[in-house]
Amino acid sequence: MKYTRLTKEQFEIFHEKFAEFLATQQIDRDEWKKIVETNPTMTEEQLDLFSDIVWDDALKNAEYLEHVSPKDLKVFRFMKGKVKMISIKIKGDLDIDLTEANGITKVFENIMDSRVLLYNGTKKINGHNRSQDMFQLITEGCIISDDRIYKALSSAIS
């Protein structure tokens, strides 16, 4: 297994896709019930294989990840052969909570304050490891996001 198995809730979301997946393996509903009851190893294999397919599709189509806490924000852009990261850290008692809707606006309003720290960097990655690198960040708390925050921060630091 390349990733982790989907949760029960995630399987419920993808139940139609899972049924299609089983159909591609010539497994209908009755056959699946029989497999679940009599062959736990095959059941586990099918659940794991489907989970990997879902993760592969999600990560293949993702370009941006973000991780937000009240005083720390990291955004990542995965590009061909590299990943770029922009990070904001709020130090001290500066009244900015990055999890609030106006958090980024407050950062821009206080961009010259020494308690607002901006970092950026680039790391080369192997295309074969792109999904694994993204998944590792997701297991550390990142979520797949759109380009809005990354582009705003990128223009601010350039």
Instruction: Report the alpha-carbon angle 53-54-59, nearest 5.
Output: 100
Residue 49 has pLDDT above 80, yes or no: yes
pLDDT for 111: 87
pLDDT digit string (tens) for 72-102?
Answer: 999 999 998 899 999 999 999 999 999 999 9
Report percent pLDDT > 70 for the chain: 100
CA gap 5, 113 in Å, rounded? 44
More confident of the two residues 128 and 68:
68
What are the residue ranges spanned by the domains of the chain? 8-61, 64-157
